[in-house]
Chain A
Amino acid sequence: MSEERIVLIDERGLRVDGRKPDELRPLKIEVGVLANANGSAYIEQGKSKLLVAVYGPRELHPKHLALPDRALLRCRYHMAPFSVEERKSPAPSRREIELSKVIREALEPAILLDRFPRTAIDVFIEVLEADGGTRCAAVTAASVALADAGIPMRDLVVACAVGKVDGQIVVDLCDLEDKYGEVDMPVAYMPSKGVVTLLQMDGILTREEFEKAFKMALEACEKIYQVQKDALRRKFGGVQEESVEEVSGDK
């Protein structure tokens, strides 16, 4: 490692990619991009790009995994070999297995799993390009894909990372800030419920710094929540009234 220090925040107080400390990267969410999945979403957060597919509820195989009182949620977080600078082996790494579990646990409290006992809901997350914050983008996109699949949920789950870079608390870290910054703290949150479903941190924050960072994360989540809702409204927006009148009087 070279001794040269990377400047993460310049003299004007701007970050490596020119953002202000509390500014998010440009965010784009598209719903229903895959024809063969029950629900799907594509997310672009800065240079991070992910594709999420949801299948289910469907019959569970192998059968012995079935839970008698609720559906089994299975997640696979996977990075494409071309998603990072140096080719990544396509085999699931230790990190990917762990992230799969972490993402599953962030989504589980939101989904009404008890409505589909003995079935499986499968979530496949494919990272096409990684530039930091992929686990957060994965949670954000997965909850949109689950909603697209028509799976009942308490609320959408939104995730966003906060961290400390060059002594400053910043929101939505990119890859460089994640690697060379002091702290990275991903937070997943259900905005309408006010429930945090994921909170991780590597690095050290003082109590005051943590409180500031946590508040910033929740504020960022609220912003991303709006983007999620807009994406879903765009997909299902063409829905109008007359049809429902006829639908409600069926049979």
Chain B
Amino acid sequence: MTVHVDRRKLVLPGELLAEGRFEAGPNTYREGDKIYSAVVGLAEIKNKVVSVIALKGCYIPKVGDVVIGVITDYSPTSWQVDINSPYTATLQVVDALPRPIDPAKENIRKYFDVGDVIVGEVIVFDKTRNPMLTTKGKGYGKLTGGRLLEISPTKVPRLIGRRGSMINMIKKELGCQVIVGQNGRVWISAKNSKYEDIAVKVVRKVEMEAQIPGLTERVRKMIKEEKSRIESGS
């Protein structure tokens, strides 16, 4: 039972993290009773689970994740959704509409068309088949208006913050709606388009400075400054 790295230290692929009765968490791999890092990231050991927080990487769907997708194609009974991942998602009509429809009579394009932005949840994914989404649920469905941003999926936890601290602060300070998909897509909508501009800047700042301490406070200050600038300017 030996731990070879300090918690939150930068580790590289192939670096020995721990030996003994530990569990190999995300971004690590096991050889015998040794656990190694598989990516460039920050080591984390919690309750005997050794893991690495990746600094870069793509989005791999997980059941229960909220994602923002763009419709790319449709068939009589389902849509194909780009979820910013190596795997395209499928949204079936039964998982999207409250009642069954007759595909012979109705064209599903009138509900979601190609290019529409939707927010939904991953309900099935096991790597042998592409993920399935549902848009049944509170707040799910088509997104209209607002703006869509893309950030690195590894930075999503930082944008949400501990128990939503960062995202709730942004929503409160700017009085705007923000939806963060686990796949790195962020949808922002505010009544005042200038506030939307600020929110876009803030999200970009969080992405750029995700690793620098004291971010929440700096973001709060930035929002205040931007807001006062708008009020004095207009």
Contacts and interface: CB of A to CB of B under 8 A. Distances in A.
B56 interface: yes
Nearest to B86: A119
Give the 4 A-B residue pairs with the shortest CB-CB distance, closest first.
A155-B14, A150-B57, A242-B213, A150-B56
B38 A153 contact: yes
Interface string B158-183: 10111111100000000000000000
Interface in B176-218: 210-216
Interface residues of B, number: 46
A250 interface: yes
Given A57-B58, A236-B10, A153 B53 contact: no
Interface string B25-40: 0010100000010111
Contact of B39 (A116, A117, A152): A152
A153 B87 contact: no
Interface string A52-68: 00001111000000001
Contacts of A155: 13-14, 36
Contacts of B154: 150
B10 to A, nearest CB: 6
A3 to B, nearest CB: 50
23 contacts: A38-B56, A39-B56, A58-B86, A59-B86, A116-B60, A116-B86, A117-B128, A118-B127, A150-B57, A151-B57, A153-B13, A153-B38, A155-B36, A237-B10, A241-B8, A241-B213, A243-B213, A244-B8, A244-B53, A246-B162, A246-B166, A246-B215, A248-B44
Contact of B211 (A148, A154, A243): A243
A110 to B, nearest CB: 8
A155 B96 CA distance: 44
Contacts of B165: 246
Nearest to A240: B213
A154 B56 contact: no
B219 interface: no
Interface string B1-14: 00000001010111
B54 A117 contact: no
B12 A147 contact: yes
A152 B13 contact: yes
B42 interface: yes
Interface in A216-236: 229, 232-233, 236
Given A152-B13, A243-B210, 6 more contacts: A68-B128, A150-B58, A156-B13, A238-B211, A239-B211, A248-B46
B187 to A, nearest CB: 18
A150 B52 CA distance: 11
Nearest to B209: A243
A243 B219 CA distance: 14
Contacts of A112: 29, 38
A156 B14 contact: yes
Contacts of A59: 86-88
Nearest to B214: A242
Contacts of B88: 59
Interface string B120-137: 000000011000000000
B12 A233 contact: yes
B108 interface: no
Contact of B58 (A38, A190, A192): A38
B56 A148 contact: yes
A239 B43 CA distance: 12
Contacts of A148: 40, 56
A149 interface: yes
B150 interface: no
A249 interface: yes
B15 interface: yes
A53 B69 CA distance: 27
A95 interface: no
